[in-house]
Structure 1
Amino acid sequence: MKTARITQNFRGRTAIVFSSEGRSLDLLEQTMRRLGLEADIRPLQMRQSLELPDGLHREHHIVLIDGDMTLPAAWPESYGAETPCPTIGLVGIEAPSRLKALLQLGVQAFLSKPIHSGSIYSALYLAVNEFNRMDVLHRDLHDLSDRRRKRIHVIRAVTALMRQRGLSEDAAYSILRKDSMRERVSIEDHCFDLMHAQSDDDPNSRETNKRGQAR
């Protein structure tokens, strides 16, 4: 399993802040700039409905969301099911319903209101690194699911090689494994490509595929 690298420097990122916090926003903006971030403050009225933006990038943005706003149930559909970038929840009223609404948006850290400069870096550090950690886990899970889906092609490739060369199962698998390592791809991807190439070269297989598509 891969390990996410620890990020300690947030220079060059843009922090988009949705809050009704008033004067604390000046302190937040000043602290952000000292840390090398560009602060994009978007003040809102208390209880105002919040519309989350499109076009966020995981490496370029950090979003701070005030939990005292009327929050949407999810991010825009363009982001899919995952949080698009590191996200911090600003917490004033510690009601379970408001904390739950922030968690449902996938916040990785909390910053209490009124905002104090000494707690801002810690919230940024936690949000960015927790986001990176979850991103690595999601990528690993996707990779495992993809390899599991392609495992049938490994079985087919081993069987074909055993039949073609009169090899044992272990010997056929060893050859396929060495070939995949030589090509620097997983054995699942190697066998997937191998079996599809053989299928394309087999006229009977192509005809079967055509009949299947016609149905």
Structure 2
Amino acid sequence: MALIILMLALQFYGVPHSSMFTFIFSGVSFEEILSRQIHLPILWVSYLIIPNFIILDAQRILSKTHLIQLRGFQYSHLQFELISLMGTLFITIIYVLFSFTWIIALMKMTHAQIFSFAGLKEMSSYFLFFLMILIGLICLVLIQATLNLFNSVLGIILPFSWIIFTSFTVWKFNPLNGLMLLRYSSYNTIQTFIFCFIIIIVLTTTFLTVVRKKDFI
């Protein structure tokens, strides 16, 4: 993703009214879908799914590989899963922080437009969009981590399917709508935060409940 962003930056070098944010996060508007001008936003899909592919089923593999050592150090399965979950969330935060910093730095170096597009007019708007992308990715990672407790294949299929579903539907209550600049609005911002926090709470509770039950068994 860093290389793709760099190549985009080189293409727009010296163009004052270009924006890599638009190319990566624009997505598909509701109007395009309703008028059947549908296309798959490859960069947007790739950006969102990369953390899931980085993590895959690493938790399950680590648990099986180091089970004896964990028991020897008196770590419970719950403690291990919590540490692994915090590790995956840390990776997600670093991924979003690095990519946003990288994009803004390259746009500064190439003299591209930074603070005026798709409703993002100032730094505070960028920070809000950064938070939206972050909690959206945390939701996707939590879905994967929870499903990995049952089936690692479902853990990668469901988040990917949700992203694709978002690209081709106009369902207004989809939390991922707020992660597209063409659907970016104050309404979608509030909706995204509320729904994502509800999903995070539900998934975290489910994750802990399942792990505790397995640990008890």
TM-score (norm 2): 0.24
More strand by share: 1
More helix by share: 2
TM-score (norm 1): 0.25
Select the structure with the greater relative contact order (CA < 8 A; seq sep ≥ 6). Answer: 2
